[in-house]
Amino acid sequence: MSLDINALLEKLTLEEKVSLLSGGSAWYTQPIERLGIPKILMTDGPIGLRLSRDHEGISEDTLGNLEKSTAYPCSSAIASTFNEKLVESVGREIARQFQEHGVSLLLAPGINGKRTPLCGRNFEYMSEDPYLSGRMAVSYINGVQSLGVGTTLKHYVANDQENKRFTVNAVVEDRALREIYLAPFEMAVKEANPWAVMGSYNRVNGVHCCENRTLLLDVLREEWEFDGLVVSDWTAITDKVASIKNGCDLEMPGPSMRDQEVLDAFNKGDLTITDIDARVRRVLQFVDRAIENKKEVNVDYARAHEFSRKAAEEAIVLLKNEDVILPLQADLKIAVLGEQAADVMQGGGCAKLDPERISTPLDELRKRNPDLVYARGYTGDEVDERLIQEAKLVAAEAHVALVFVGTTSAIESEGFDRTNMRMADSHLALINEVTKVNRNVIVLISSGAAVEVHQFGQDVKAIFQLWYPGQAAGEALVRLIYGEVSPSGKLSETFPVHLENTPTFDNGHVNAEEVTYKEGLQVGYRYYDTKKIPVQYPFGFGLSYTSFEYSNLELSSTGLKNDDLLEVTLDVTNSGGVKGKESVQVYVHDVRSQYPRPVQELKGFAKVELEPGETKRVTVLLNERAFAYFVPHLNDFAVETGEFEIRVGASSRDIRLTESVQFKSEDSVTIPLTDRDSVLDWLSNPESSDRMRTVMNDRFGGPYRTDSSI
């Protein structure tokens, strides 16, 4: 069955139309039974199905009240795989469980920017880099939607902190908004066509996102040609009439208390039937899509768990491996320390779900190594001397001590931001004390975002960043620890040394009604690399049990013009002793530009698997956008004529090969000159210099040159 939308628009009464513009309940759209319009179910995301057993009513949504489902690694982890195919298959597996429960719309992925490591929801977002976020979102969306479940790209836009999240006004200048914050949304909308986009709670440049004409109608609908549903975040609408006028189709949750307000506005002539019909049409199109795509599926939970393990295996990042302590020999006596070894961590809020099964690191390590010794080491944040002493005794007896630390859903969560990047004192004390009795300490960090490691980094042999690794954490980790698979995750965000080094230290975690994005484009590695600030671990960094060599970089052309594609090709060789995967990253550096630009930006990547000794030729394509920046006076992306360096590396700080290309652009990026500009400006401007020189020569005799020595 599908809906005849034009006929329905004729038959619906005004009241029915208005009622369709908000949900019928917490998780459903409004049904209109007399016309055969059913209610459609939606729920969160992003690491799997989070469905309240009470979804027919207004649910309490407590964890105990959720359907069980497979928990996949969190979004920062997923992005650290740098593996688009893998992310697509995770999306497909998640969608199966949505179909099984009759849920048509997944309220994910979240692709907000990470301007500060302190944002409470960073674990729900992909990366500090808009290109990586965008690519990962495209893969995730393609995977989910290939099974007939819609996705919701959220939170549109500049919802980059949790403090004051309902009201904060993000003041963002055009270039940063376009190049950093809107760019991943743009890529996902244009390349993957999500069924929905969720308007966020906050304001952008003074206007709430769900009422923001520029963002919803001019950019999303007109420029990007988005044809899906614009849904509000839960209770994000502050002015219902303005939201309808300015492009928000569906208010959630429902039922709305404001239908009468809408009817009154219509009667007064403040809203037209064209405004209302435009929104109703989008809601009906969404309902139609949902009906058309409903499928009977069977979920194989064991297989879903396998996929979660595979994703975790590629997401976990090996940050340090001194003396090649890893992989561990099977017969070494190990001590497992820290309460978190006996659990699988998740972030807090609407992304938290009730895992269908859990393989904890402790259980899985014990299967391999029944003689291991375990001590809890801490409980909560306060240092507990008795637990630490117990852990030290155990650690002193073992060859190797594996210390599990990190953050919890009480620290990283929706609804509030972290106040610092430190791990709890109890965790730091445990590591510190254990290093006094055991020289082979391996630290395993569960967190959804960067934490400080300088307090212990020097004293331990190895560090694994697990992220929030999902329900199969234990199985994935054991395979990595014992070398059945080589680590291949790379950091989707920089690990700064100190919070004070971060670009938003002054204003990244303020509890104010207005936050100005003073750092502009300088977010994440763009900032650290441009300003040459030392970092703990750079963006894109991750170790392996093997080594990779990069050689024979070739560009398909040394000269480019608008619309051209550049093929960047190189050889990657596995020069070590075991099979492994490498994520090759391509950064673009604009050698000289009229406007300030970050020193380099990620514009492509590829992950390759190689046997020892094997070489593969890898190709990464760069299109015009890879060289462009947003030019405010053109209100568009444009490329400046000149030289660009193509930098190929294993992280943003480990560039292995570079080549140059000249771009001859037809775009006029120069701000148009006026009669208030100086003769020197007219002479130095490439677009006016010839004409100006002729005029000057004719008038005053020449010769006049175009540089400042005239």
User: According to CB under 6 A, which one of 191, 221, 234, 293 is a site residue for ligand BGC?
Assistant: 234
The beta strands (E) that lie in 400-508 are given as: 400-406, 441-446, 462-465, 495-496
User: According to CB under 6 A, which one of 93, 233, 339, 582 is a site residue for ligand BGC?
Assistant: 233
Q: Which of 139, 115, 135, 112 is nearest to 124 (CA)?
A: 112
Q: Which of 695, 563, 671 is nearest to 627 (CA)?
A: 563
Nearer of residues 286 and 630 to ligand BGC, judged by Cβ: 286
CA–CA dist 381, 386 (Å, integer): 14
Instruction: Based on the shown chain and the rule CB under 6 A, indicate whether residue 251 belongs to the binding site for ligand BGC.
Output: no
Q: Shortest distance, CB of residue 44 to ligand BGC, whole angstroms?
A: 5
**Residues touching ligand BGC: how many (CB under 6 A)?**
6
Q: Shortest distance, CB of residue 206 to ligand BGC, whole angstroms?
A: 21
Q: Shortest distance, CB of residue 45 to ligand BGC, whole angstroms?
A: 7
Q: What are phi and psi of 154, to 5 degrees?
A: -140, 165
Q: Shortest distance, CB of residue 162 to ligand BGC, whole angstroms?
A: 9
Instruction: Based on the shown chain and the rule CB under 6 A, indicate whether residue 51 belongs to the binding site for ligand BGC.
Output: no
Nearer of residues 43 and 127 to ligand BGC, judged by Cβ: 43
Instruction: Based on the shown chain and the rule CB under 6 A, indicate whether residue 350 belongs to the binding site for ligand BGC.
Output: yes
Query: Is 163 within 8 Å of 214 (Cβ atoms)?
Result: no
Instruction: Based on the shown chain and the rule CB under 6 A, indicate whether residue 417 belongs to the binding site for ligand BGC.
Output: no
Q: Shortest distance, CB of residue 159 to ligand BGC, whole angstroms?
A: 8
Q: Shortest distance, CB of residue 109 to ligand BGC, whole angstroms?
A: 10
Nearer of residues 179 and 233 to ligand BGC, judged by Cβ: 233
Burial (CB count <10 Å: 0-12, 13-18, 19+), residue 522:
buried
Binding characters for ligand BGC, 153-192, by CB under 6 A (x = yes): -x--------------------------------------
Of the candidates 44, 129, 160, 233, the residue annotated as catalytic is: 233
Nearer of residues 327 and 349 to ligand BGC, judged by Cβ: 349
Nearer of residues 350 and 648 to ligand BGC, judged by Cβ: 350
DSSP 8-class letter at 192: H
Report the Cα 230 to chain-centroid distance in Å. Answer: 20
Q: Which of 142, 100, 90, 498 is nearest to 306 (CA)?
A: 90
Question: Which residues have a Cβ under 8 Å from the Cβ of 555 and sit 6 or more positions away?
Answer: 566, 567, 568, 569, 646, 659, 661
Nearer of residues 302 and 410 to ligand BGC, judged by Cβ: 410
DSSP 8-class letter at 214: I
Instruction: Answer yes or no: 233 catalytic.
Output: yes
User: According to CB under 6 A, which one of 3, 18, 44, 156 is a site residue for ligand BGC?
Assistant: 44
**Helix 130-145 to helix 84-100 angle, to the nearest 10 degrees?**
40
**Residue 455: HSE in the Cβ half-sphere, 13 Å Cα cutoff:** 17
**Helix 301-315 to helix 84-100 angle, to the nearest 10 degrees?**
150
Nearer of residues 44 and 67 to ligand BGC, judged by Cβ: 44
User: According to CB under 6 A, which one of 107, 168, 431, 669 is a site residue for ligand BGC?
Assistant: 107
Footprint of ligand BGC on this chain (CB under 6 A)?
44, 107, 154, 233-234, 350
Give the active site residues: 233
